[in-house]
């Protein structure tokens, strides 16, 4: 185990090498202060806690941050874990350092959660802090990187949950900030715990073929170096094997084993000028055979995270394809350190136009207005984490959009007024539908009209970006309140009826008051309007207030709740359900054909000798409820509003056939701490597969969270309730 002194020495070495402009005296003072405050604390491995702040400070120095940022890294846990206050830090080390520490302190509470509202609030705090000082998130990423490096000391459950959080939030965030080197390490370390078998398979293969790989890379480097020297181009050539997670993704997307993959190698050529980049590209294409369709020019069209390079894939004489990236030294520093590069080389001096590089943060903050939490989190991942597509206006301006965007997204990316007055679109002079997916290099022209009636509600289902969806909602909110109220009320009342709740109960003042308190709206009309313009779904609203409604509506003992139409004079609370009808004490069983759980709309069937069988109303076997010949055997039932044991249910998951999906589904169920009774999969024709998973849940809300997580997996096309 390394000592505190060794970590201190390592941090100071990193500062001298990567950030020589840092004030060493202030750093030393902050170190001693943090060491004193954390003196009684230990890490999971039993080492002194101060080792963690030292390691985080070393990482911030390696990416070239300034003095205040390194002090913030050393002190980042003081407010959270010790008796230190904001004022204490501000008095000793300055207001800026205190604000950095406070910002990181808030972000330490950002954890992956199955509760979308909580996750939205955590992400909101993150982007608010980023918008004030981007160094907050840079320190937080450094903090996460060190925690990832020491994940072996955590429990298996914590390893999985933290690795999922890293893969879903912090690695994509590092990518969005252009910090590729850190992104790769976060992904590789997370894969080690999320997919241990696949990780080991790849690492074993790379170890076994190390000598062969080194020989191949030396040959390619020598060939390129000789050519560039011969034509007088000064440059450095580096070869590497692609990182583990990148190889894993190729295996998954292509359905191949690692033995079947060829493009495992990448070479980087770094030169002095942009003209040299294009000259090198010509020589590389002369030396090796070009793979058609695999050339990308990110110099003339940089990525939103400021990344610039030429990318081409070629095939050498051995028939092995490999990627070549060509860039200048300035581009290389930006590719390695991303947003942190200007601290490293400009020592924190603001550059003109720099704020435009972070415009995406502002857009993410704007998109949280009037947005349902679940939709916001989903759209956030689309806007921030998805691959981009680059398209052009007729005048040649480049517009970056999430992959899968449509002309609607393009119009609203230009301006709200353009989107609101849009009546059509052309791509390369050809009229296209509104749902046409844009491709890299498309030249898009938006057709507008002064007499346009505004956006259609259907556009909300077509557009891809949260920016467009938010602007469309804003239009409906401003222009169509009365229509929104009518539309929202209809949706809300239909959802109430799905739970056997009579919408007329809202005429009761007490019920209305309870609903407004729970849903956080000033009036019922405001809630209807929000549903109408898409700010929240009717399902979400009813889900929030359903328990409150049932509580208010629950009558005195042995009376039927208002608004719940139970047949018969008596009800019995049996096995978590209230059975209507004067049928005396009876046995209740839950049907295996539809596996109902609390929250489902249910009905009971009186069986011969086996009591009452509970079905979902949409179950195929419940169609007989309308059959006059069986009317005396069907009874109304509702769920009792009591805590009950979990109920078993089954999901059927349709997907494309791919390796790892079975493990992905099992990992989600394990991370949610669900009792799984059965999980199986089988292949179907046309390269499809069907997975069946049976597990216990407490209610439909918990079940929907499971479904939402599974639907987000790559390759999954449908998740539906099944039968056991």
pLDDT value of position 509: 74
Place of tokens 């119009």: 411
Handedness of CA 689, 694, 695, 699 (dihedral sign): positive
pLDDT digits (tens, 9 = 90+) for 507-520: 777 777 777 777 77
Looking at residue 345, its pLDDT comes to: 43
pLDDT classification of 131: cutoffs 50, 70, 90: low
**142-159: pLDDT as tens digits:** 999 999 999 998 888 888
What pLDDT is recorded for position 612? Answer: 81
List b or e across 525-553, with b for residues whose CB sees 16 or more CB atoms inside 10 angstroms.
ebbbbbbbbbbbbbbbbbbbbbeebbebb
Q: What is the pLDDT of residue 661?
A: 82
Longest CA–CA span in the chain (Å) reads 98
Helix (H) / strand (E) element for 720: namely strand 716-721
- Give the separation between CA 490 and CA 503, rounded to whole angstroms: 10
**What is the structure's pLDDT at 57?**
95
- Helices (H), ranges, 293-353: 329-337, 341-346
Residues forming a β-bridge with 533: none
528: pLDDT strictly greater than 70: yes
Percent helix / strand / coil, the chain, rounded to 5: 50, 15, 30
What was the pLDDT predicted at 689?
87
Alpha-carbon 448 to chain mean position: 34
655-693 burial by CB neighbour count: b if 16+ within 10 A, else e? bebbebbbebbebbbebbebeeeebeeeeeeeeebbbbb
Segment 421-462, tens digit of pLDDT: 999 999 988 999 999 999 877 889 999 998 888 888 789 888
- Residues 591 and 323: their CA atoms lie apart, in Å, by 56
Instruction: Work out the mean pLDDT of the chain and round it to a whole number.
Output: 80
Distance CA 39, CA 19 (A): 28
Q: Are 186 and 244 in contact (CB under 8 A)?
A: no
80 is catalytic: yes
Residue 222 and residue 429: Cα distance in Å, rounded?
47
Which residues touch 152 (CB under 8 Å, ≥6 apart)?
159
Q: Supply the pLDDT for residue 227.
A: 93
Q: Is it the case that residue 563 has pLDDT exceeding 50?
A: no
Contact assessment for residue 163 and residue 190, using Cβ atoms and an 8 Å cutoff? yes
Instruction: Please compute the mean of the pLDDT values over residues 702-714 and round it to a whole number.
Output: 86
| Alpha carbons within 13 A on the beta-carbon side of 223 | 17
Secondary structure (3-state) at 613: strand
Place of tokens 């985080």: 56
Contact 93, 71 (CB under 8 A): yes
Most confident of 230-234, 333-337, 540-544: 230-234
pLDDT of 567: 43
Read off the pLDDT band of 36 (50, 70, 90). very high
**Residues contacting 60, CB < 8 A, separation 6+:** 69, 70, 72, 73, 138, 139, 142
- Residues 6 or more apart whose CB falls under 8 angstroms from that of 367 comprise 376, 379, 380, 383, 466, 467, 470
**Alpha carbons 425 and 411: distance in angstroms, whole number:** 9
In this predicted structure, the answer to whether residue 176 has a pLDDT above a threshold of 80 is no
What is the per-residue pLDDT for 602? 85
Give the pLDDT confidence score for residue 277 in this predicted structure: 94
Residue 88 or residue 481, greater confidence = 88
- DSSP per-residue letters across 628-688: GGGGGGEEEEEE-SS----EEEEEEEEEE--TTHHHHHHHHHHHTT--EEEEEEEEETTTE
Note whether 621 and 591 are within 8 A (CB).
yes
Q: Could you give the percent of the chain with pLDDT greater than 70? A: 81
Top pLDDT among 207 and 133 is at 207
CA–CA gap between residue 540 and residue 543 (Å, rounded): 5
Q: Please give the pLDDT value at position 93.
A: 94
Terminal CA-to-CA distance of the chain, rounded, Å? 52
Whether the pLDDT of residue 306 is over 90: the answer is: no
pTM, 2 dp: 0.57
Distance CA 664, CA 649 (A): 19
pLDDT tens, position by position, 243-287:
999 899 888 877 788 877 777 889 999 999 999 999 999 999 999
86-93 and 95-107 are packed helices; what angle lies between their axes, rounded to 10 degrees? 140
Q: What is the pLDDT of residue 384?
A: 52
Cα–Cα distance between 457 and 490 in angstroms, integer? Answer: 15
Looking at residue 35, its pLDDT comes to 93
The yes-or-no answer on residue 6 being catalytic is no
Q: Which residues pair with 266 in a beta bridge?
A: 240, 323
Q: Quick check: 582 pLDDT over 60?
A: no
Cα distances (Å, whole numbers) of residue 363 to 325, 340, 376, 476: 31, 21, 12, 19
Triad 120, 336, 213: Cα angle to 5°:
115
Determine which one of 35, 80, 263, 370 is catalytic.
80
Question: 67 with 94: CB under 8 angstroms?
Answer: no
Check whether 363 has a pLDDT greater than 70: no
pLDDT at 112 over 50: no
Pick the catalytic residue: 35, 36, 68, 81? 81
Question: What are the structure tokens assigned to 62, written together?
Answer: 């390696």
Contact 613, 637 (CB under 8 A): no
pLDDT of residue 569: 42
State the average pLDDT over residues 525-538: 81
Q: How confident is the model at residue 114 (pLDDT cuts 50, 70, 90)?
A: very low
Nearest to 63 by CA among 162, 174, 167, 188: 174
Q: Which tokens is 79 given? A: 């407010």
Residue 106: which pLDDT band, with cuts at 50, 70 and 90? low
Check: CB of residue 635 under 8 Å from CB of residue 612.
yes
Residue 245's CB is within 10 A of a number of other CB atoms, namely: 25
Higher pLDDT, residue 127 or 658 = 658
């Amino acid at each position: 185990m390394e000592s505190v002194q060794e970590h201190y020495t390592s941090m100071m070495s990193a500062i001298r090498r990567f950030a020589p402009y840092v004030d060493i005296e202030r750093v030393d003072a902050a170190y001693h202060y943090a060491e004193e405050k954390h003196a009684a604390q230990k890490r999971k491995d039993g080492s002194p806690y101060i080792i963690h702040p030292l390691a985080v400070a070393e990482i911030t120095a390696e990416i070239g941050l300034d003095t205040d940022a390194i002090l913030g890294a050393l002190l980042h846990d003081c407010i959270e874990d010790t008796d230190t206050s904001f004022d204490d830090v501000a008095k000793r080390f300055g207001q800026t350092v205190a604000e950095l520490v406070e910002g990181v302190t808030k972000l330490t509470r950002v954890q992956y959660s199955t509760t979308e509202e909580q996750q939205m609030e955590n992400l909101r705090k993150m982007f608010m802090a980023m918008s004030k000082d981007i160094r907050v998130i840079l320190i937080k990423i450094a903090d996460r990187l060190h925690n990832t490096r020491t994940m072996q000391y955590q429990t298996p459950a914590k390893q999985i949950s933290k690795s999922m959080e890293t893969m879903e939030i912090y690695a994509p965030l590092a990518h969005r900030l252009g910090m590729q080197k850190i992104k790769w390490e976060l992904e590789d370390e997370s894969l080690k715990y999320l997919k241990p078998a696949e990780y080991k398979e790849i690492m074993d293969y790379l170890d076994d073929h190390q000598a062969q790989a080194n020989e191949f890379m030396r040959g390619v480097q020598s060939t390129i170096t000789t050519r560039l020297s011969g034509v007088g181009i000064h440059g450095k050539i580096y070869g590497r094997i692609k990182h583990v997670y990148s190889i894993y993704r190729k295996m998954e997307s292509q359905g191949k084993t690692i033995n079947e993959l060829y493009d495992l190698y990448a070479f980087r050529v770094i030169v002095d000028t942009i003209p040299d980049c294009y000259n090198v590209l010509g020589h590389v294409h002369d030396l090796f055979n070009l793979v058609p369709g695999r050339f990308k020019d990110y110099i003339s069209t940089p990525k939103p995270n400021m990344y610039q390079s030429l990318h081409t894939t070629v095939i050498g004489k051995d028939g092995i394809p490999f990627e070549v990236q060509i860039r200048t030294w300035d581009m290389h520093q930006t590719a390695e350190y991303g947003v942190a590069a200007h601290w490293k080389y400009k020592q924190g001096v603001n550059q003109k136009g720099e704020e435009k590089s972070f415009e995406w943060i502002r857009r993410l903050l704007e998109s949280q207005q009037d947005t349902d939490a679940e939709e916001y989190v989903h759209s956030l991942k689309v806007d921030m984490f998805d691959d981009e597509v680059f398209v052009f206006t007729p005048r040649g301006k480049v517009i970056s959009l999430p992959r899968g965007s449509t002309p609607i997204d393009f119009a609203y990316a230009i301006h709200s007024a353009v989107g609101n007055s849009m009546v059509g679109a052309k791509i390369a002079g050809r009229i296209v539908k509104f749902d046409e997916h844009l491709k890299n290099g498309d030249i898009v022209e938006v057709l507008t009209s002064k007499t346009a009636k505004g956006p259609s509600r259907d556009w909300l289902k077509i557009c891809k970006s949260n920016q467009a969806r938010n602007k469309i909602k804003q239009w409906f909110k401003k222009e169509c309140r009365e229509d929104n109220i009518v539309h929202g009320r209809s949706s809300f009342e239909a959802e109430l009826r799905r739970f056997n709740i009579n919408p007329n109960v809202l005429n009761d003042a007490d019920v209305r008051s309870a609903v407004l308190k729970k849903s956080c709206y000033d009036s019922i009309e405001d809630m209807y309007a929000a549903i109408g313009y898409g700010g929240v779904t009717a399902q979400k609203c009813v889900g929030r207030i359903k328990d409150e409604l049932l509580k208010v509506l629950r009558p005195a003992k042995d009376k039927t709740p208002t608004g719940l139409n139970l047949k018969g004079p008596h009800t019995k609370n049996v096995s978590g359900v209230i059975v209507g009808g004067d049928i005396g004490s009876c046995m209740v069983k839950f049907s295996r054909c539809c596996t109902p759980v609390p929250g489902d709309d249910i009905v009971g069937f009186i069986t011969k000798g086996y009591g009452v069988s509970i079905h979902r109303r949409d179950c195929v076997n419940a169609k007989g409820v309308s059959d006059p010949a069986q009317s005396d055997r069907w009874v109304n039932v509702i769920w009792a509003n009591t805590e009950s044991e979990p109920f078993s249910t089954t999901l059927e998951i349709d997907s494309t056939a791919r390796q790892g999906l079975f493990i992905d589904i099992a990992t989600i169920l394990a991370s949610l701490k669900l009792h799984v009774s059965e999980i199986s999969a089988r292949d179907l024709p046309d390269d499809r597969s069907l997975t069946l998973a049976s597990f216990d849940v407490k209610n439909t809300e918990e079940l929907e969270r499971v479904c939402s997580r599974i639907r987000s997996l790559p390759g999954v096309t449908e998740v539906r309730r099944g039968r056991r």
